[in-house]
Structure 1
Amino acid sequence: MASDPGGQEPDPQAPLAPGPLLRIGEGDLQVEVAPLAGGRIAQIHKDGVAQLLGPDDGWPAAIAWGCYPMLPWVGRIRHGRFAFGGRQWQVPANMGGHAIHGVSMWMPWQVDAHDAHSIDMTLQLPRDARWPFGGRARQRIEVEGPGRLALGLSLRAVAGPMPVAMGWHPWFRKPERLEFHPSAIYPRDAEGIATLPTVAPTPGPWDDCFLNTREVVLHRAGQRVRLASDCDHWVVYDEPAHTTCVEPQTCPPDAFNLMPRVLAPGEVLEAWFRMEWD
Structure 2
Amino acid sequence: MATEHVLPIDDAQAPLPAGRLYWLRAGKLEVALAPAAGGRIAQIRYDGVDWLADEQQGGAATIAWGCYPMVPWAGRIRQGCFNFDGEAYALPTNFGAHAIHGVGFSRPWRIDSIDTDAAALSLVLPEDAYWPFGGVATQTVRVGPDRLELHLAVQAGERAMPAVLGWHPWFRKPDELLFAPNAMYPRDGEGIATLPLASPSPGPWDDCFINSAEVTLLSAGQRLQLRADTDHWVVYDGAPHATCVEPQTGPPDGFTLARNRLEPGQRLALHFDMQWQP
Shorter-chain TM-score above 0.5: yes
Do the aligned residues in 1 keep the contact of 2:9 with 2:106 (CA within 8 Å)? no
Do the aligned residues in 1 keep the contact of 2:6 with 2:108 (CA within 8 Å)? no
Alignment of 1:82-231 (within 5 A): 82-143=82-143, 145-231=144-230
CA distance in 1, matches of 2:17, 2:276: 28
Task: State TM-score, norm by structure 1.
Answer: 0.97
CA RMSD of aligned residues (A): 1.2
Shift of 1:56: 3.1
Alignment of 1:12-27 (within 5 A): 12-27=12-27
Runs of 4+ in 1 over 6 A off after TM superposition: none
Secondary structure of 1:79's match? helix
Do the aligned residues in 1 keep the contact of 2:43 with 2:66 (CA within 8 Å)? yes
Shift of 1:219: 0.5
CA distance in 2, matches of 1:117, 1:137: 21
Please list every run of 5 or more consecutive structure 2 residues that lacks an aligned counterpart in the other structure: none
1:9–1:23: structure 2 CA closer, same or farther, 3 Å change rule? Answer: closer
1:45 is aligned to 45
CA distance in 2, matches of 1:120, 1:275: 18
CA distance in 2, matches of 1:121, 1:220: 30
Do the aligned residues in 2 keep the contact of 1:84 with 1:163 (CA within 8 Å)? yes
Letter in 1 for 2:160: P
Shift of 1:232: 1.1
Please list every run of 5 or more consecutive structure 1 residues that lacks an aligned counterpart in the other structure: none
Between the aligned residues of both structures, percent identity stands at 54
C-alpha distance after superposition, 1:161-188 (max 9, x if no partner): 0000011000000001000011000000
CA distance in 2, matches of 1:96, 1:19: 26
CA distance in 1, matches of 2:221, 2:56: 23
1:9–1:173: structure 2 CA closer, same or farther, 3 Å change rule? Answer: closer
Do the aligned residues in 2 keep the contact of 1:211 with 1:233 (CA within 8 Å)? yes
Shift of 1:58: 5.1
1:217–1:168: structure 2 CA closer, same or farther, 3 Å change rule? Answer: same
> Aligned pairs, how many?
275
Shift of 1:96: 2.0
